Amino acid sequence: MMKIRSITNLILVAAVIFISYYSSIVGINGETQATVSKGLSTDFTPAPYAFSIWGLIFVMLAVIAIKDVRLAFTQDKVGHESFNCWLTVSLVLTIGWTIVWSYLQIGWSLVVMAGIFLSLLLAVLHKNPRPVSANITLALYFGWISVALVANESAWLVDLGWVKDNGEGWLSDPSFSVMQSALSLVLFAFVLSFKSIRKGLDPAVFVYPLVGVWAYIAIMVKNGAGNPNLLVYVSAFFALILLLVTGYFGTKWNASYSANSKD
Per-residue pLDDT tens over the stretch 210-244: 999 999 999 999 888 767 788 999 999 999 999 99
- The answer to whether 146 and 184 have CB atoms below 8 angstroms apart is yes
Q: How far apart are CA 193 and CA 207, in angstroms?
A: 15
pLDDT at 252: 66
pLDDT at 225: 75
What phi and psi, each to the nearest 5 degrees, are found at residue 261? Answer: -60, -25
Give the HSE-up count for residue 133: Cα atoms under 13 Å, Cβ half-sphere: 20
- The answer to whether 144 and 102 have CB atoms below 8 angstroms apart is no
Q: Is the pLDDT of residue 255 over 60?
A: no
**Percentage of the residues of the chain whose pLDDT score is greater than 70:** 91
Provide the residue ranges of all domains of the chain, joining segments of one domain with +. Answer: 2-259
- The answer to whether 28 and 97 have CB atoms below 8 angstroms apart is no
pLDDT at 2: 83
Neighbours of 29 (CB within 10 A): 12
Residue whose C-alpha is closest to residue 189's, from 249, 105, 233: 249
pLDDT band at 170 (very low <50, low <70, confident <90, very high): low
What phi and psi, each to the nearest 5 degrees, are found at residue 72? Answer: -65, -30
Residue 250 is which amino acid?
A: G
- DSSP-derived letter for residue 239 is H
Q: What tens digit of pLDDT does each residue of 9-62 get?
A: 999 999 999 999 999 999 999 999 989 998 898 889 999 999 999 999 999 999
Residue 138 is which amino acid?
A: L
Q: What tens digit of pLDDT does each residue of 85-140 get?
A: 999 999 999 999 999 999 999 999 999 999 999 999 999 999 888 999 999 999 99
Beta partners for 31? 28
Residue whose C-alpha is closest to residue 223's, from 236, 210, 214: 236
- The answer to whether 96 and 30 have CB atoms below 8 angstroms apart is no
Q: What's the average model confidence in pLDDT over 240-253?
A: 86
pLDDT at 162: 86
Q: What tens digit of pLDDT does each residue of 187-213 get?
A: 999 999 999 999 999 889 999 999 999
Give the 3-state secondary structure of residue 163: coil
Q: Does a cis peptide bond (omega within 30 degrees of 0) precede residue 174?
A: yes
Q: What's the average model confidence in pLDDT over 146-164?
A: 91
Give the 3-state secondary structure of residue 49: helix
H-type helices in the chain, by residue range? 2-25, 33-39, 53-72, 85-102, 106-125, 132-159, 175-192, 195-201, 207-224, 230-250, 253-259
pLDDT at 169: 52
pLDDT at 199: 92
